[in-house]
Amino acid sequence: MHEASEEEIRNLIDIIEAVAKGNYSNEVMEFTKPGHSEMIQRIAEAMGMMMVRVEAREVRLEQLIDELRDLNALLQKNITQTVITIANALGARDKYTKGHAYRVSVYSERLARKVGLSDEEVEKIRIGSVLHDIGKIGFSDRVFSDEDVSISEGIFEEIRNHPKIGVDILKDLTFLGPVLDYVHYHHESLDGTGYPGGLKGEEIPVGARMISVADCFDAITTDRSYQKGRTMEEAFAILRKIGGKNLSPELVEAFIEDIKEKGMF
């Protein structure tokens, strides 16, 4: 057993410095072999053991991060589902609203897929559609009245407020991301005459424009207290007529194509 040479020590230091930077090669194990001084062998063995422990901890840490990510996704899913359940309770107050959010969500999801959006974007649009009218939870009973009441200024104002109320309800659920904008802007109009922002054209998020098309189609084809639901063909004609003024014409055409292919409720 000889004394450690300066070169041996320098080589070992180089490897230890590389390990310190996260480069866990097995080179250090070379220094545990016979032929090296006892001191060098002991340092190399200790270093080898330390690397094994650090690597094991890193693997465990990565597992924990994965578990945490999965748990967070599950938590977000459960919170979203809880909010959707609350939104569905709207149906108990208004027989027109019953099933509306679900139908709009199916139509919007199909439209988003048809225009080639990613799975993640499609899912945000689906959630936005289910929740788009959650702000109606704040409506007074007179808005839900089945009688053909003339719309007073107060009721009109209340109705126009529902996108804003919806965002206020959801705004702390920051993980919803663009969903908040979809809820906020689902009553905007391409020509800037919509509410609440008076946004024009592409200022309106595309997800919100998709929900608008689906929302209009469902409103036209569903029986209301004041009118019987129109046929599919009549609804297409109305959508085309307001396409360009209120709705994005290219989305209207993609939507019509989708309904022709897959049908309606």
Judged by beta carbon, residue 133 or residue 218, the one nearer Fe ion is 133
Q: Which stretch binds Fe ion (CB under 5 A): 58-66, 127-135, 147-155, 199-207?
A: 127-135
Judged by beta carbon, residue 94 or residue 133, the one nearer Fe ion is 133
CB 72 within 8 A of CB 122: no
Q: Which stretch binds Fe ion (CB under 5 A): 30-38, 52-60, 123-131, 133-141?
A: 133-141
Judged by beta carbon, residue 44 or residue 239, the one nearer Fe ion is 239
Shortest CB 133 distance to Fe ion, Å? 4
Judged by beta carbon, residue 24 or residue 102, the one nearer Fe ion is 102
- As given in the structure block, the two tokens for residue 56 are 């094991």
Q: Which residue, judged by CB position, is nearest to Fe ion in the bound state?
A: 133
Shortest CB 160 distance to Fe ion, Å? 10
Judged by beta carbon, residue 44 or residue 127, the one nearer Fe ion is 127
Judged by beta carbon, residue 12 or residue 190, the one nearer Fe ion is 190
Shortest CB 108 distance to Fe ion, Å? 13
Shortest CB 66 distance to Fe ion, Å? 39
CB 151 within 8 A of CB 173: no
Q: Which stretch binds Fe ion (CB under 5 A): 67-75, 111-119, 125-133, 233-241?
A: 125-133
CA 45 – CA 54 distance, rounded (Å): 14
Q: What angle do CA 184, 190, 194 make, to 5 degrees?
A: 50
Our finding on whether 133 is near Fe ion (CB under 5 A) is yes
Judged by beta carbon, residue 12 or residue 213, the one nearer Fe ion is 213
Tell me the CA distances in angstroms from 244 to 113, 148, 191, 205, one per residue in order: 22, 31, 8, 16
Q: Which stretch binds Fe ion (CB under 5 A): 7-15, 39-47, 128-136, 249-257?
A: 128-136
Q: Which stretch binds Fe ion (CB under 5 A): 90-98, 131-139, 195-203, 225-233?
A: 131-139
Our finding on whether 158 is near Fe ion (CB under 5 A) is no
Tell me the CA distances in angstroms from 89 to 26, 95, 130, one per residue in order: 62, 11, 12
Tell me the CA distances in angstroms from 264 to 197, 224, 247, 261, one per residue in order: 31, 17, 19, 9
244's CB contacts (< 8 A; 6+ apart) are 190
Shortest CB 217 distance to Fe ion, Å? 13
Shortest CB 166 distance to Fe ion, Å? 8
Shortest CB 162 distance to Fe ion, Å? 6
Q: What angle do CA 159, 163, 165 make, to 5 degrees?
A: 90
| Four-CA torsion 113, 114, 115, 120, nearest 10 degrees | 0
CA 88 – CA 82 distance, rounded (Å): 10
Q: List interacting residues with Fe ion (CB under 5 A).
A: 133
